[in-house]
Amino acid sequence: MGITGLVFLSSGLFLGWSLGANDAANIFGTAVSTRMVRFKTAAIVCSIFIALGAVISGVGAAHTLGSLGTVSAIAGSFTTALAAAFTVYSMIKCGLPVSVSQAVVGSIIGWNLFTDSVTDVNSVVKIASTWAACPLLSAIVAASIYMALNKTVRSAKVHLLRRDYCTRVAMILTGAFGAYSLGANNMANVVGVFVPVAPFVDFNFGSFSFSAIQQLFFVGSIATAIGVFTYSHKVMGTVGKGLMPLSPFAAWVVVVAQSLVLFMFASEGLEYFLASHHMPTIPLVPVSSTQAVVGAIIGIGLCKGAAKNIKWIVVGRIVCGWIITPIIAATICFFALFFMQNVFSQKVYTPKFYDLSEKVIQKISDSEKIPFHQLILLKGEKYNSGNEFIKAAKERVGKIDSAKQQRILNLAEKINVFIDLEKANKLDQNILTPEKIEHVKQLAGLKFSYRWELQDALVKISPDWSYKSESVLNKKYNKELSIQLKEVENLFSVCENKR
Amino acid sequence: MNISKGFSLFYGSKTLEHKIDEFLDRISEAGLIYRKALSVYMDNGASDDFVVHAEQVGYIESRADELRREIETGLYEQNLIPDLRGDVLSLVEDLDAILNAYDGSGYRFSIEQPVFPATLHVDMGALVESVTNSVEQITIASRTFFRDFNSCREYIHKVRFYESEADRITTKIKRAIFSSDLPLANKMHLCSFVDMIDNLADMAEDITDKLAIYVIKRDN
């Protein structure tokens, strides 16, 4: 892919840069603004741990594909990432901390609008609920920690200088942990989708091996580090000082509260751990580090009874920034895609076809419990737009909720998969077990027109290919299975039918 | 921050902690010696014993000056307590000014050798005691400021008490001086010494005002 790959990758790197400029400020903003940690120290620690997180733990997440993974053509991914990065850049220029992931989701909505795809309403609801839920949760957590620890620290009567030293060390350790998590969780969203076009090859250096994906993630980390060094200072000022003057101790509590909120309310791992040990689970709530930091600062301010010290005008500006970020990203993305497609003649999306044959209608009726006689009116119809298909379905069936819409679209989407035995060896062994690869090989020579047909055929060979009932404990299993099925579909898709 | 730098920061802050404690010890010690020196002066005038005590105060002042410089340099070089650094430096400098005043006062006594009437000796002793007590309390208040600022408020209150006590005794002594038969030049001379001693309590009170603000700032 060479030069083209690098060009496409550039927008991913731009997004990586904005991640560094924005999210790193959330991690170390309060520490730097209270002058407890020098900017240079914060930037170095942040860059190193983001890179470590991305290369060591982030690569695994690449297989799940990032948010941009829903965008089906590389030029589309390039444009979507560019729109998101440009939006974040503009917001940072105004000194406003925004959410990179929300900018990305905004861009994807723009892509959906451009390609006439059905937007998952849940994504929109998710963004909107984050604006309220995340700061609130973070404020409560920060205020609780502040009250509990402040009392303890006071009664311990530690010397001011020793306390200063401990706070400083704690800030750096917590910040390093935050940076590691940022690299591990977000790098896949930023550059994960560019894995196929990245101009890297695996290389081994004795016992040390550095895979192409790791190299790509490392390059993404460098872009993030450049973002940290070149542009995070301004947002750090807004987060650390702009909202309210903070004592070093309060600044540290903000960092801890942010990390805890992200860990408790966004960690699927923790949810699974609790459920598997028969403990009550904490409901997963969409959270963003930016909103968590702002919420934590306000929480501490209110807890200290210093509401008047909070600069509510700045809070208002930040909240406006959150709301307009997805809107701007969607708008920029929509027009950028138009230019990309019509001026630069690039394929920005892979059209999807929905073919409503009788077997599809039967399948939808069975799995979604929709009366067959209502759906039969759709028989033989073909759509190349998800929106048109859903509109037609609604006319026959009535109201269909967002989750059901996505499932119906998935069932009716036409694919063209031919299981070629020669290709079977290319199946990613990190995703599929040798047994499952064998199952796929047993289907050699068969063609599948629908995703569910492929899965049904695999289930006949082994029940390991069927989804388990929806529950917290089964969530991880189902997610992995979905990735495995996607891997099989992508590898065996026949090109002309992907059009 | 690498590990060695982390250790040096820990070592540095510990060393500085000791230096601040030593600095406060010196002020406390100087107060005790000053009290003793003036007691000797009242009894025997500028005797050898008094000169020895005055020189001791001078020596303590020099050592405290060194400590002050080391504390100031340490705080800046190691970038410690950035939010309170200015306040701590100001506190250390103000306390050092009290030491300078002790030292200057001792030298003035040994050079000018004012003669206080015997009737004033008891009051002079009480004045010195109140003044040195107020300085002692500000030393304790400063010490607690670094560890437990809630207790700091209690000592601040005590400083104010001793300062007003010193003011009261000063007024009493001045009245006694001016109602005596001494020549006016002598009266003025003695009053300047009384003011000089009372000024130490005023300095301590000024520091408490600042300290009270630092406590509020740190409380937030």
Give the per-residue pLDDT at B125: 95
pLDDT tens digit string along A224-243?
A: 999 999 888 877 877 777 78
Q: pLDDT > 90: what percent of chain B?
A: 70
Question: What is the average pLDDT across A421-448?
Answer: 85
Q: Quick check: is A347 in a domain?
A: no
Q: Are residues A328 and A363 in the same domain?
A: no
Instruction: Quote the tokens at residue A217.
Output: 């993630």
Asked if residue A319 has pLDDT above 80, the reply is yes
Write out the H or E segment, with its range, that includes residue A146.
Answer: helix A121-156
Interface with A, mutate which of B15, B75, B80, B85 (most A CBs under 10 A): B80
Count of structural domains, chain A: 2
Instruction: Quote the tokens at residue A250.
Output: 């309060």
Greatest Cα pair distance in chain A: 80
- Report yes or no: B13 at the A interface, CB cutoff 8 Å: yes
Q: Which residues of A touch B220 (CB under 8 A)?
A: 245, 247, 304, 306, 309
Q: Which residues of B touch A36 (CB under 8 A)?
A: 82
Q: Quick check: is A348 in a domain?
A: no
Cα-based distances in Å from A321 to A95, A258, A335, B53, B195: 10, 19, 21, 69, 62
Interface with B, mutate which of A34, A161, A241, A310 (most B CBs under 10 A): A161
Strand ranges for A351-436 from DSSP E: 354-355, 382-383, 414-418
Q: Which residues of B touch A248 (CB under 8 A)?
A: 82-83
Which of A280, A309, A342 is at the close of a domain? Answer: A342
Q: Quick check: is A349 in a domain?
A: no
Question: What is the average pLDDT across A315-344?
Answer: 90
Greatest Cα pair distance in chain B: 74
Contact check, Cβ <8 Å, A41/B150: no
- Report yes or no: B153 at the A interface, CB cutoff 8 Å: no
Asked if residue A185 has pLDDT above 80, the reply is no
- Determine the Cα–Cα distance for residues A285 and A98; give it in Å rounded to an integer: 18
Give the per-residue pLDDT at A238: 76
A239: nearest Cα among A171, A191, A311, A347: A311
Q: pLDDT > 70: what percent of chain B?
A: 94
Instruction: At A413, give phi and psi (nearest 5°).
Output: -65, 130
- Determine the Cα–Cα distance for residues B90 and A476; give it in Å rounded to an integer: 59
Asked if residue B169 has pLDDT above 80, the reply is yes
Give the per-residue pLDDT at A68: 55
Q: Quick check: is A117 in a domain?
A: yes
Asked if residue B9 has pLDDT above 70, the reply is no
Q: In DSSP terms, which residues pair with A418 in a beta bridge?
A: A447
Which of A342, A376, A404 is at the close of a domain? Answer: A342
Apex B208 CA angle, B203 and B211, nearest 5: 130
Q: Are residues A125 and A239 in the same domain?
A: yes
The answer to whether B78 and B14 are in contact (CB under 8 A) is no
Local confidence band at A30 (pLDDT 50, 70, 90 cut-offs): confident
Scan for tokens 């993030």, then name that residue. Answer: A224
Q: Are residues A176 and A231 in the same domain?
A: yes
Contact check, Cβ <8 Å, B82/A168: no
Local confidence band at B137 (pLDDT 50, 70, 90 cut-offs): very high
B180 CA: distance to closest CA in chain A (Å): 52
Q: Are residues A182 and A216 in the same domain?
A: yes
Apex A42 CA angle, A40 and A45, nearest 5: 105
Q: Are residues A371 and A252 in the same domain?
A: no
Q: Quick check: is A64 in a domain?
A: yes
Residue A203, SS3 per DSSP: strand
Q: Are residues A432 and A315 in the same domain?
A: no
- Neighbouring C-alpha atoms within 13 Å toward the C-beta of A160: 25
Give the residue from chain A lying closest to B151, CA to CA: A157
| Count of pairs with CB atoms under 8 A, one residue in A, one in B | 53
Q: Are residues A202 and A172 in the same domain?
A: yes
Name the residue among A35, A161, A168 with its Cβ closest to that of B17: A161
For each of the domains in chain B, give its residue range(s) and CATH number, in order of start: 3-219 (1.20.58.220)
| Structure letter (DSSP) for residue A71 | S
Give the per-residue pLDDT at B135: 94
Which residues neighbour A4 within 8 Å (Cβ) at sequence distance 6 or greater? A197
Q: Are residues A271 and A392 in the same domain?
A: no
pLDDT tens digit string along B33-73?
A: 999 999 999 999 889 999 999 999 999 999 999 999 999 88
Contact check, Cβ <8 Å, B20/A161: yes
- Report yes or no: B150 at the A interface, CB cutoff 8 Å: yes
Give the residue from chain B lying closest to A48, CA to CA: B1
Name the residue among B13, B82, B83 with its Cβ closest to that of A165: B13
Q: Which residues of B touch A164 (CB under 8 A)?
A: 13, 80-81
- Determine the Cα–Cα distance for residues A310 and A297; give it in Å rounded to an integer: 9
Q: Are residues A140 and A110 in the same domain?
A: yes
Q: Quick check: is A395 in a domain?
A: yes
Which of A316, A342, A368 is at the close of a domain? Answer: A342
| Mode of pairing for the β-strands spanning A203-205 and A208-210 | antiparallel
Q: Are residues A287 and A174 in the same domain?
A: yes
pLDDT tens digit string along A294-317?
A: 899 999 988 887 777 788 888 888
Scan for tokens 């010696």, then name that residue. Answer: B33
The answer to whether A217 and A54 are in contact (CB under 8 A) is yes
Alpha helices in A34-120 (DSSP H): 39-52, 59-62, 74-93, 100-115
Give the residue from chain A lying closest to B21, CA to CA: A159
Q: Are residues A91 and A160 in the same domain?
A: yes
Contact check, Cβ <8 Å, B145/A160: yes
Q: Quick check: is A50 in a domain?
A: yes
Local confidence band at B170 (pLDDT 50, 70, 90 cut-offs): very high
Q: Quick check: is A301 in a domain?
A: yes
The answer to whether A202 and A9 are in contact (CB under 8 A) is no
pLDDT tens digit string along A54-100?
A: 888 776 655 554 555 566 677 888 888 899 999 999 988 887 888 88
Q: Are residues A336 and A359 in the same domain?
A: no
Amino acid at A418: F
The answer to whether B126 and B169 are in contact (CB under 8 A) is yes
Which has more pLDDT, A296 or A378?
A296
Question: In B, residues 59-88, which contact A (CB 8 Å cutoff)?
Answer: 79-84, 88
Q: pLDDT > 70: what percent of chain A?
A: 93
Give the residue from chain B lying closest to A246, CA to CA: B220
Give the per-residue pLDDT at B20: 92
Q: Which domain holds residue A226?
A: 2-342
Contact check, Cβ <8 Å, A168/B84: no
- Name the most confidently modeled range: A287-296, A344-353, B27-36: B27-36
Apex B118 CA angle, B117 and B123, nearest 5: 95
B151: left (phi over 0), alpha (psi -120 to 50) or beta: alpha
Contact check, Cβ <8 Å, B13/A158: no
B132 CA: distance to closest CA in chain A (Å): 26
Which residues neighbour B62 within 8 Å (Cβ) at sequence distance 6 or greater? none
Interface with A, mutate which of B85, B147, B211 (most A CBs under 10 A): B147
Name the residue among A157, A158, A306 with its Cβ closest to that of B220: A306
Asked if residue B172 has pLDDT above 60, the reply is yes
Instruction: Quote the tokens at residue A37.
Output: 């940690």
pLDDT tens digit string along A162-174?
A: 888 888 889 999 9
- Report yes or no: B48 at the A interface, CB cutoff 8 Å: no
Q: Which residues of A touch B79 (CB under 8 A)?
A: 35, 38
Lowest mean pLDDT among A275-279, A377-381, B31-35, B87-91: A377-381
Which has more pLDDT, A214 or B66?
B66
Long-range contacts of the stretch B32-41 (C-beta < 8 A, 24+): B32/B132, B33/B57, B33/B60, B34/B102, B34/B105, B34/B106, B34/B128, B34/B132, B35/B128, B35/B129, B35/B132, B37/B106, B37/B109, B38/B109, B38/B124, B38/B125, B38/B128, B38/B197, B39/B125, B39/B128, B41/B109
Which residues neighbour B208 within 8 Å (Cβ) at sequence distance 6 or greater? B138, B141, B156, B159, B160
A165 CA: distance to closest CA in chain B (Å): 7
Contact check, Cβ <8 Å, B1/A160: no
